[in-house]
Structure 1
Amino acid sequence: MNSIQRSLLHTMPVFGGISEPALDFLLQLADIRTVSSGDYFFHEGDNAASMFVMLDGRVAVLKNRDGEALQIKELNQGDCFGEMALLDLYPRSCSVKAVSECQVIEISQHCLFKLYQHDLEQFTIIQMNIGREISRRLRLTGEQLFHSEGVEAK
């Protein structure tokens, strides 16, 4: 892991407050992957076992409705996706497709379990950070739904 990639991770909410040694430990276990433009990281309904950190490139987050894949968000460098897989045991809730060639760090449940065994405090911080990020996204989605429904005050 080079210093630019490490600096990027330190700016991400999921890795906020993580010590340098714990981050190094986790990244030694993680995989760096390159995904070609047009390829899928995963499809909605797939088994989920890892999250991804965008080092470079762009992805489209897609949700199926009536057999049609609708784009709900685009992510790029510094974003992460798939983190719900590290908290729950449910299938993927959406599909993620590379819009351009992407380089990502894949952090699996196995990697996180190794961190749990190695440094419980740092593992707990990451879990709390993931929970906060999911909560932030849920609040944003709730606000978007509220405003799109045309709800009127009474």
Structure 2
Amino acid sequence: MGINPAIVQNIAERVRAEVLPQRAASALKLDPAIIQKIAQKVPIFSGMSQPCLLDTLATGEHFTVQAGEAVFREGDMGNSFYVLIAGDVVVEKMRDGKPVELTRLGPGECFGEMALVGNDVRSATVRATGSLVAMRFYRELIDANPESASAIYRNIARILAGRLGESSLMLADLKKRDSAA
């Protein structure tokens, strides 16, 4: 009898809910100029007050990933989003057993945000193209701060709307090519 992934996920979420708020309570010391730069350069944090941004950043979890490693894989369960601090990632979706590159993202960009707005199953694989540093932000901690949640969800809507617009243009180009052939 194997281990049920849903049970493991549930236990991990409960542990994070107990441990991570204690980390967030500890004071994060950042220069106000750095906080302002983050607010200007990282679209998902746009419109946040400095105190709110500081609280939000305090809940983030820094980590590194080596070249070629996946941050997460298509089909994984997810309850967090990520912000790239340094390095790049490629976003891939499997089609006919082969990875298809959807896009590349760099510092300041976010990914995995669909897990915050209701899709717990990862829709794509995100892989480091080189060594990277990122921050992970868990849904439970974002939702615990109404000001942060409001700004982040509003910004996610803007980001996803932009990506949908880009996807629509790509589909239109493909249809145009197909009809010309």
TM-score range, shorter chain: 0.7 to 0.9
Amino acid at match of 1:146: A
Is 1:149 matched with 2:175? yes
In structure 1, the gaps of 5 or more residues are none
Moved over 3 A (4+): 1-6
Q: Is the 8 A contact 2:38 2:45 kept in 1?
A: no
Q: Secondary structure at the match of 1:54?
A: strand
Q: In the TM superposition, what whole-angstrom CA distance separates every residue of 1:61-90 from its partner, at most 9, and x where no partner exists? A: 001001101111111111111111111133
Match of residue 111 from structure 1? 141
Match of residue 128 from structure 1? 154
Check 1:5–1:53 CA distance in 2 against 1; reply closer, same or farther (3 A cut). Answer: farther
Check 1:100–1:9 CA distance in 2 against 1; reply closer, same or farther (3 A cut). Answer: farther
- Give the alignment of 1:10-29 within 5 angstroms: 10-29=40-59
State the aligned residue count. 148
Match of residue 69 from structure 2? 39
Q: TM-score, normalised by structure 1?
A: 0.88
Structure with bigger helix share is 2
Structure exhibiting the larger radius of gyration computed from Cα positions:
2
Structure with bigger strand share is 1
Amino acid at match of 2:52: A
Residue 121 (structure 1) shift = 3.4
Amino acid at match of 1:124: S
In structure 1, how many angstroms separate the alpha carbons of the residues matched to 2:85 and 2:171? 30
Q: In the TM superposition, what whole-angstrom CA distance separates every residue of 1:86-120 from its partner, at most 9, and x where no partner exists? A: 111331110000110110011111221222xxxx2
In structure 2, the gaps of 5 or more residues are 1-27
Q: TM-score, normalised by structure 2?
A: 0.75
Is 1:49 matched with 2:79? yes
Residue 9 (structure 1) shift = 4.3
Residue 5 (structure 1) shift = 5.8
In structure 1, how many angstroms separate the alpha carbons of the residues matched to 2:147 and 2:87? 32
In structure 2, how many angstroms separate the alpha carbons of the residues matched to 1:29 and 1:135? 26
Bigger relative contact order, structure 1 or 2, given CA contacts below 8 A and separation 6+? 1
In structure 1, how many angstroms separate the alpha carbons of the residues matched to 2:97 and 2:39? 36
Q: Is the 8 A contact 1:42 1:97 kept in 2?
A: yes
Q: In the TM superposition, what whole-angstrom CA distance separates every residue of 1:3-35 from its partner, at most 9, and x where no partner exists? A: 576323432221111111011101111101111
Is 1:138 matched with 2:164? yes
Amino acid at match of 2:158: R
